[in-house]
Amino acid sequence: MDEIEVREIGFADPRVQALVTEALTELGGRYGGSGDDTPVTLTDFDPPVGAFFAAVDGDALVGCGGWRRHGTDAELKRMFTTPAARGRGVARRLLATIEESARAAGMKRVILETGDKQPEAIGLYESAGYVRIPDFGYYKGAPGVLSFALDL
């Protein structure tokens, strides 16, 4: 795990967009469709209204995630770890970095939407102290949606 470094990176970076495409393809396989129709623009994660991070192994991006401002909350979006990097603590490291960034920006909590077909993500969030909250986002009220929050 020591060889993997978490770095802040622009969401518009073509390498990030390729990783996001891989993530959405995987979600599409689980849920159908595009994987996630939540509106996200290339500037949603630009400081001071957010931040985006990548886990880097050599020259390869093996994970990503970021937060964007949602009122006084930081909404976690586009969390993903490549299959080859799973089980190595990459997602947990990314999550901790995102939480610290949001805290430093004055956010009160991190909120997120996930789905019931992502047991790995649910396990990560629950083990990191996230608790269920009322649904809030694009998928509010959709079957299988699960919303979580962590007070910072």
Mean pLDDT over each residue of the chain, to the nearest integer: 95
Question: What does the pLDDT look like over 34-92, one tens digit per residue?
Answer: 888 889 999 999 999 999 999 999 999 999 999 999 999 999 999 999 999 999 999 99
Q: What average pLDDT does the segment 6-35 reach?
A: 94
Q: State the total domains in the chain.
A: 1
Please report whether residue 58 resides in a domain.
Answer: yes
Please report whether residue 126 resides in a domain.
Answer: no
Q: Report the CATH number at residue 94.
A: 3.40.630.30
Task: Please give the residue range of the domain that contains residue 80.
Answer: 4-108
**Banded model confidence at residue 21, pLDDT cuts 50, 70, 90:** very high
Please report whether residue 49 resides in a domain.
Answer: yes
Token digits for 145? 């949606």
Please report whether residue 128 resides in a domain.
Answer: no
The whole-model pTM stands at 0.94
Please report whether residue 135 resides in a domain.
Answer: no
DSSP string, 5-50: EEEE--TTSHHHHHHHHHHHHHHHHHHSTTS------TTTT-TTSE
Please report whether residue 129 resides in a domain.
Answer: no
